Structure 1
């Protein structure tokens, strides 16, 4: 039997998290029947209030479940993330993402399902548009992505998937027309729908043992998507997404001291791609790119992205830590198809350990770029 070597250097002895602090505050003593370290399921929960695309406040809740479907010496930790939001005025989102590792890592099952009412700003195509040159659009959105990958050799997987995007009643505010604003003709009809349905071919290399809080290792993912009218898509169109990450430890044991690097390239491979399916900053599979840049700020036929982050513990017990990050991205120009403008961003953040056994942190990041800044609160690391 082929098996990955699942190296788990995390030693929770002497470590502290918010669960420990809660037990101390409320004088809760865990049962001695089953010690914490032997549990196979770990939950983390975070309620926050924040701004939503298009303006206004909304209540967000983020729940992450980390669990093992096999012996943790031979099986990676699986995760399910549920991050609903609503604002009592008809705007809501119900996204569920999953990354499941079956026993001995024989299969990796990935899922991304969303039902959303999602108003947001768009700046058109390319990288030359001014911050104030934007348009508010509104639509309902249904996403259903599922893929299954079989291990071919240690750490390397191949498989297939199905991808569905359904944008309902796309319309601009204040009598504005998306087609006129963008100069793009696919998926921009006023009060129209956009439906894309297609298969994908997936390749994955993953030597990380924990996707919630990655430790030294490598990650590479390739997704080739082919949408066809045979599966109900309104247009034939194709895309390619290539994602690469590397994590380097700067210490041997003790407090965390890690450099993390992330790069992805996302491109259309044919004409006819609907506007809202074009590569756009902040629309990578987990919507974590572009901290300090407004989501959708840059969109084009091609997008290239680089980010690096320094992660370090502040306290030896792992309860508190900090990060420093910087990124740069570019989208192709609509006329020349070349990367002509580069858009940098950067910032820093605080990390608070919520659950030491799953490695889940609460992240509070402040990011900024030209003409924009924002505070982001998340469960887990950005990448």
Structure 2
């Protein structure tokens, strides 16, 4: 392990220790619990729809008694490799217990299709059981997934990328038990299965990348492993966080006896901080910071499983960058975002964001290259009860600019 990697690993451990000191408070004291209740003076798109179609609203404070909040947004988007697809983003927020002692769970379902050979059925879940005694983290996907992979250049050119295609099956399931305060520990199973990996250009993926594992034309790639997971989470609502902290440390082992093509292991460490600038107000005014370090410990990880932007566990990195723009055996990522409501009723808001990426690969050493992206976005409140926003982000970087539309915050 290089000195830089060792430093980041120790930094991650130290951060977990610091957050544990911050977290020593009674479990039932949830700082943001009041937010879903204090929405009488707020407005969302559901309210506007009720007003437009003259639908009477229930009276009283949270008089619906609902524990389930549902948001759906269909739209058209460009897809990697060219063309457009119809995408439907669905977010559900719900409580498995008393909201005074239980955080809001989240399930997102984002199917897409171009009514041809491209389609995707991803389901992502983050479920809190009653009184936050357990958290279940899941990610299931079936994708027909074309996209580009890139050479290790700073300024991208047209011949620096290669279109590839494959069918992808993912099954991640992690179960964690609360140890103390916001700390959870558990194990999980992680499967990445890619079928018929092939280049859509003149060069094969192996020729283009110069990498030996998982790059043969028309080949399959299987990574099947067990993971040890540590989570620190004091966010009562992960759909739209109003404060608190989050950290995630995962060590994944992929042995051949579980079905992996070759034995390899990885480490992922992430820390997020959400700092509210107006703690006594129901209006959003926040600085959010996240950073993560992701590495494989040997050279046998399949090429498409190597750390890269856009493919972190939440697929939320790399705003303002092409998909999978930077890839290597190790990757460090830092992003800062400012979030603020524009209107008193919370209907409209905006964000400003910037991120930097450093990657270790044959062309660059970790922390010897810094790749910058940034941009701005608009926020429209879709469902005030769950805090779900329609997020419209425009990002730019060297040789690239793009628009992204989604439900919920990026992180």
2:113 is matched with which residue?
86
* Aligned partner of 2:85 among 44, 50, 58: 58
Q: Is the 8 A contact 1:344 1:369 kept in 2?
A: yes
* Aligned partner of 1:114 among 141, 145, 150: 141
1:64-143 alignment runs, 5 A limit: 64-124=91-151, 126-128=152-154, 130-132=156-158, 133-143=160-170
CA distance in 2, matches of 1:42, 1:115: 25
CA distance in 1, matches of 2:342, 2:366: 43
Relative to total residues, which structure has the larger helix share, 1 or 2? 2
2:334 matches 1:306: yes
2:276 is matched with which residue?
249
2:378 matches 1:339: no
CA distance in 2, matches of 1:166, 1:211: 28
Alpha-carbon displacement from aligned partner over 1:119-164 (angstroms, at most 9, x marks no partner): 111013x454733211001100000000000000010000000000
CA distance in 2, matches of 1:186, 1:26: 58
Alpha-carbon displacement from aligned partner over 1:299-350 (angstroms, at most 9, x marks no partner): 0000000000110000000000000011111111326643322110110010
2:15 is matched with which residue?
none
Alpha-carbon displacement from aligned partner over 1:210-264 (angstroms, at most 9, x marks no partner): 1000111110001110001111111100001111100111113142110100101
Runs of 4+ aligned residues of structure 1 deviating over 6 Å after TM superposition are: none
CA distance in 1, matches of 2:153, 2:263: 26
2:66 is matched with which residue?
39
Q: CA deviation at 1:30?
A: 3.9
Farther off after superposition, 32-41 or 200-209: 32-41
Equivalent pairs, count? 381
What runs of 5+ residues in structure 2 fail to find an aligned partner?
1-25
2:310 matches 1:282: yes
TM-score by length of 2: 0.90
CA distance in 2, matches of 1:249, 1:3: 20
1:266 is matched with which residue?
294
Q: Is the 8 A contact 1:198 1:225 kept in 2?
A: yes
Partner SS, residue 38 of structure 1: coil
2:402 matches 1:378: no
Alpha-carbon displacement from aligned partner over 1:184-211 (angstroms, at most 9, x marks no partner): 0000011000011000000000011110
Q: CA deviation at 1:175?
A: 3.8
2:257 is matched with which residue?
230
TM-score by length of 1: 0.96
Partner SS, residue 52 of structure 2: helix
CA distance in 2, matches of 1:127, 1:330: 12
Q: Is the 8 A contact 1:4 1:155 kept in 2?
A: no
CA distance in 2, matches of 1:260, 1:305: 14
CA distance in 2, matches of 1:137, 1:36: 52
Q: CA deviation at 1:28?
A: 0.9
CA distance in 1, matches of 2:235, 2:112: 30
* Aligned partner of 1:220 among 242, 247, 264: 247
Q: CA deviation at 1:32?
A: 6.1
What runs of 5+ residues in structure 1 fail to find an aligned partner?
none
Partner SS, residue 202 of structure 1: strand
Partner SS, residue 221 of structure 1: strand
Q: Is the 8 A contact 1:12 1:356 kept in 2?
A: yes
1:322 is matched with which residue?
350
Partner SS, residue 191 of structure 2: strand
* Aligned partner of 1:145 among 151, 162, 172: 172
2:55 matches 1:28: yes
Partner SS, residue 190 of structure 1: coil
Alpha-carbon displacement from aligned partner over 1:84-128 (angstroms, at most 9, x marks no partner): 00001210000000000000000000100000000111013x454
Q: Is the 8 A contact 1:333 1:339 kept in 2?
A: no
2:10 is matched with which residue?
none
Q: Is the 8 A contact 2:225 2:253 kept in 1?
A: yes
2:226 is matched with which residue?
199
Partner SS, residue 23 of structure 1: helix
CA distance in 2, matches of 1:31, 1:245: 37
